[in-house]
Amino acid sequence: MGAVMHLYSIPYLTAANPPITMNDHPIISWIENDEEQSARWQSEKGMPPPKRVLIADDRMTADSAYRLACEGNALLWRGDFQNARQLLQAMARRIDKKPRKRRTSKTDKTNKASNAATPAEAFHLHRLAQSQRAHTLGMLLIPFAADHSIPLRRAPDVSHACLDVYGSSTEPYVASLRELLGLIGAYEWRKSGIEVAALGSRIYPHYGVFAPIRSEYVGLVAQANLPKLTMTQSVAFDIGTGTGVLAAVLASRGVQRIVATDQDLRALCCARENLTRLGFIEQVDVVQADLFPKAETEKQAALIVCNPPWIPARPSSPLEHAIYDPDSRMLKGFLNGLAAHLAPEGEGWLILSDIAEHLGLRTRDELLAAIDAAGLQVLGKSDVKPHHPRVADSNDPLHDARAAELTSLWRLAAK
C-alpha cells in the first residue's frame, strides 16, 4: 500500500461520450495491457460511467489515490480486496480531515458572526460537500464476474447481496466499491431486521427502501387515538408505505382493511414480505399507485396516513427519494388530494418533522397555508423529540437544526 505507483500501470480510458450502451446498460471502457477493455457499468445510484479510468493495485498510496480521484480519475482495482477497503477508508479520512484552525482576532470573530451562513445556506453547503465526497469516494471501482463474484484476492462472497439488488447477471460488470459496501450493509439489515417496539417485532427493509430506524414517528401512529369513524367504517390508506411498517401498526390496532400504496417496486415487494411475515397480509392490500389508490372501490377511507419525505430539496440519487421531496411534491400532493379521499368525519394523519423549518427551507406559515388551501383544517397535533444519535452530535454541520427538531402527527380533516 505504501509503495509509489508506476504511471505505466494506470493508462487512461478511451470511451465514447455519451456512454455507449449495450443491452440497456452503460458500458465502461479502459486500456489495460495495451488493449482496450470494456464491461457493463452498474450503478444503483444512477451515476454515469466515469470518463477516465486508471488501473490501480496494492502499490498505490492513499495520497495518490485521493489526488487522482479528485482530478476526476476512476481507479479500477486489481489488487487485494481488503487493501482496497483500507484505501477507501484512507481516502475518506483525507476528505473528512478538518483544516487547521488559524488564530483569529477580535475583528475576525466579529466578521464571522455577522457573515455566518443562514441555516438554508449551511444546509446547501453541507449537501454540496456530501455530493463531492460521494463522487470522490465513488471513484474506486471493483470488477465483478457474471455470477456476482469478485475476482480479487481475499474478496468476500457478495453474490447473495448483489443478486438481491442487481438481479441475475449474464456478463461481467464494474461497480463502485463504496456502493458495494452500502449494498452489503443493506443486505445485513435485511437479514437481521429492525426492532419496532410498537409492533413487538422486527421489520426487514430492502435495499433502497426507507428503513424505520427513527422509531419516534412509528410511535406517534401507534399512540394516536383512532378516528371514531373507524368503529363503523374500518378502512384506512397508508400513502407511501415503504417497508409497510405504518400499515402493520394500523393492522395491529384493529383496522380491518388497509390499502397501502407506493410507486417503487422494491417498496411494494418489501411491504408485502413484511406484512406477510407479521400475519397482516389478509388485512392489507399493497398496490402500486402515485399517492392515493385508483380503484373505484377504494375512493375514500376513514383514516389516511402519510409520512412523506421531510426535506424539500432535490435528491442526488434515486436512493434519496425517501428523504428529499423536491418542491414538496409529495407533501402537496397528499394535502391537495386528502379532502376528496376522506370519508365524511374521517381524518388524515400527516407525519412530518419540522427539520425543514429549522433549516430555513420551509416556514410553518407556508405549511399551514398549504393545509388551508387544500380545504383542510387542523384537528390537533402530537409532537415527539427525536432521539437518534445525530441529535447529540455537536460536530454534525446541521446540529443546531437537529437539536431543535420535533416530529409531529398532524390530525387533519376536510373543512
> Using one digit for the tens of pLDDT, what is the confidence trace for 274-283?
999 999 999 9
| CATH number, domain with residue 409 | 3.40.50.150
DSSP secondary structure letters along 217-263: HHHHHHHSPPPGGGGTS-EEEEET-TTSHHHHHHHHTT-SEEEEEES
User: What local confidence, expressed as pLDDT, does residue 11 receive?
Assistant: 36
Q: What is the mean pLDDT of the chain?
A: 87
281 and 377 both lie in a single domain = yes
118 within domain boundaries: no
User: What local confidence, expressed as pLDDT, does residue 315 receive?
Assistant: 82
Q: How far apart are CA 382 and CA 282, in angstroms?
A: 30
382 within domain boundaries: yes
122 within domain boundaries: no
238 and 181 both lie in a single domain = no
Q: Is the pLDDT of residue 80 over 90?
A: yes
Residue 112 pLDDT class (50, 70, 90 cuts): very low
342 and 218 both lie in a single domain = yes
274 within domain boundaries: yes
User: What local confidence, expressed as pLDDT, does residue 409 receive?
Assistant: 97
Contact 29, 15 (CB under 8 A): yes
User: What local confidence, expressed as pLDDT, does residue 100 receive?
Assistant: 46
376 and 273 both lie in a single domain = yes
345 and 407 both lie in a single domain = yes
Residue range(s) defining the domain that contains residue 90: 7-102+131-188
Segment 165-212, tens digit of pLDDT? 998 988 999 999 999 999 999 999 899 999 999 999 999 999 989 888
Average of per-residue pLDDT across 261-267: 94
Q: Is the pLDDT of residue 392 over 90?
A: no
Domain boundary among 161, 188, 215: 188
> Do strands 376-384 and 407-414 pair parallel, antiparallel, or not at all (unpaired)?
antiparallel
Q: Is the pLDDT of residue 66 over 90?
A: yes
pLDDT above 70: percentage of residues in the chain: 87
User: What local confidence, expressed as pLDDT, does residue 390 receive?
Assistant: 66
User: What local confidence, expressed as pLDDT, does residue 249 receive?
Assistant: 98
Average of per-residue pLDDT across 56-60: 97
149 and 176 both lie in a single domain = yes
Q: Is the pLDDT of residue 252 over 50?
A: yes
76 and 215 both lie in a single domain = no
43 and 164 both lie in a single domain = yes
Q: Is the pLDDT of residue 84 over 80?
A: yes
What is the distance between the terminal CA atoms of the chain, rounded to a whole angstrom?
67
110 within domain boundaries: no
User: What local confidence, expressed as pLDDT, does residue 237 receive?
Assistant: 98
pTM: predicted TM-score of the whole model, two decimal places = 0.84
285 within domain boundaries: yes
159 and 224 both lie in a single domain = no
> Do strands 376-384 and 140-144 pair parallel, antiparallel, or not at all (unpaired)?
unpaired
Q: Is the pLDDT of residue 116 over 70?
A: no
183 and 235 both lie in a single domain = no
Domain boundary among 169, 188, 207: 188
Q: Which residue has the higher pLDDT, 220 or 116?
A: 220
User: What local confidence, expressed as pLDDT, does residue 175 receive?
Assistant: 97
390 and 245 both lie in a single domain = yes
Domain boundary among 188, 210, 235: 188
Q: Is the pLDDT of residue 373 over 90?
A: yes
Task: Name 259's bridge partners.
Answer: 237, 285
Contact 249, 198 (CB under 8 A): yes
180 within domain boundaries: yes
Average of per-residue pLDDT across 53-79: 97
3-state secondary structure of 56: strand
30 and 98 both lie in a single domain = yes
Domain count, the chain: 2
71 within domain boundaries: yes
